[in-house]
Structure 1
């Protein structure tokens, strides 16, 4: 059972082990080897997935996404945390 961890601005986020991922039409598709479940990410989710391929804090992710997309920092942080919590609930990321 996955331990629930609060994700905050200083949390370091990275891919969980045991995932196979590929690009498909500018989107990311993934399969969990452990559960056999498939997942798909839209273009923004795919960009976040790319960024967390290397360990980054949530704060660093927000700063990068604000530079790349037309979004204010508050909205970006809120939406990013919601997205990361969904990934965490599915066991797709690790919080270091």
Structure 2
């Protein structure tokens, strides 16, 4: 796997395998089989998780979140990329660099 220094809007992302996800009161919670950790993705994190069930461009993912929620695009981009980077560090998502 190629190490990604910083995720950008040009990267592609997709869920990593080996996670059990459940809806609890409108929020997504996840158990990673590999590391045995539980994660509470929350409402928006859960929406992001659903959107990355197939490979998606980070820029397109951000546009989807901006369309669904009343949020400033620049702030959304910053928050979504930070979330994805955290998920990537935990090996919960795969990041693909386009050639």
- Tell me the TM-score normalised to structure 2 length: 0.89
Aligned position for 1:4: 3
Aligned position for 2:49: 49
Structure 1 unaligned regions, length at least 5: none
Runs of 4+ in 1 over 2 A off after TM superposition: none
User: What does 1:54-93 correspond to in 2, within 5 Å?
Assistant: 54-93=54-93
State the superposition RMSD in angstroms. Answer: 1.3
Give the aligned length.
95
SS of equivalent residue, structure 2 residue 54: coil
Q: Please give the alpha-carbon distance, in whole angstroms, between the structure 2 residues aligned to 1:28 and 1:76.
A: 19
Deviations 1:37-75 (A, max 9, x none): 111111011111111112111100111111111111111
Q: Please give the alpha-carbon distance, in whole angstroms, between the structure 2 residues aligned to 1:37 and 1:66.
A: 29
SS of equivalent residue, structure 1 residue 4: coil
Q: 1:4 deviation in Å?
A: 3.4
Aligned position for 1:14: 14
SS of equivalent residue, structure 2 residue 67: helix
Q: Would the alpha carbon gap of residues 3 and 31 (structure 1) be closer, same or farther in structure 2, given more than 3 Å must change?
A: farther
Q: Please give the alpha-carbon distance, in whole angstroms, between the structure 1 residues aligned to 2:34 and 2:2.
A: 16
Aligned position for 1:23: 23
Q: 1:3 deviation in Å?
A: 5.8
